Amino acid sequence: MSELKPQARSVARLAAVQALYQMEVGQSGVEAVIREFTEHRFDRDIEGHTLAEADEGFFAELLRGVVQGQAEIDKAIVKRLAEGWKLERLDSTARAILRAGTWELTERADVPLEVVIDEYVELAKSFFEGAEPGFINGALDRIARDVRPG
């Protein structure tokens, strides 16, 4: 059993969304970004405050999973966008949130879907003040029904 606090997964999810954004915008590779976060971002002080501990293994698993499954993940997302919408039309951060959430819904059946959706909606609220958190909630809810029927 892991000794990490429950919030370590939340911190890993936030870092994963930031890393996915960074990879898309900066065209960085997954292993380089994992190494950067592990060596330079996790367990660091920022302005005298220590960042919360992250589940670094989960972070790496999530990033690698999104990259390896991105074609299927993107299909699952596009299926639940409004007719005529393209994934490229979404904000890069919203895309990162949806990709991470979709991977977790698809690949981590051990995490209740309500937890996954709530976590990513809360992340969306930290990045957006408008309608995006509601959009993320609706999209992930519909994707969850597709990938975890019943």
The CATH number that applies at residue 50 is: 1.10.940.10
Q: Is residue 134 part of a domain?
A: yes
Q: Establish if 2 belongs to a structural domain.
A: no
Q: Which two tokens stand for residue 149?
A: 């029927």
DSSP 20-74: HHHHHHH---HHHHHHHIIIIITT-EETTEEPPP--HHHHHHHHHHHHHTHHHHH
| 44 domain residue, yes or no | yes
Position 72 in a domain? yes
Domain membership flag for residue 1: no
Q: Which pLDDT does position 116 carry in this prediction?
A: 95
46 φ/ψ angles, rounded to the nearest 5 degrees: -125, 115
pLDDT of residue 49: 52
Tens-binned pLDDT, residue by residue, of the chain (150 aa): 345 566 889 989 999 999 999 898 887 889 999 998 888 777 665 555 556 688 999 999 999 999 999 999 999 999 988 777 888 888 999 999 999 999 999 999 999 999 999 999 999 999 999 999 999 999 999 999 998 776
User: Is the residue at 142 inside a domain?
Assistant: yes
Instruction: Count the domains in the chain.
Output: 1
- For residue 95, the enclosing domain spans 7-147
Q: Is residue 61 situated within a structural domain?
A: yes
Q: What is the pLDDT of residue 1?
A: 39
Residue 78 placed within a domain? yes
Beta bridge partners of 50: 45
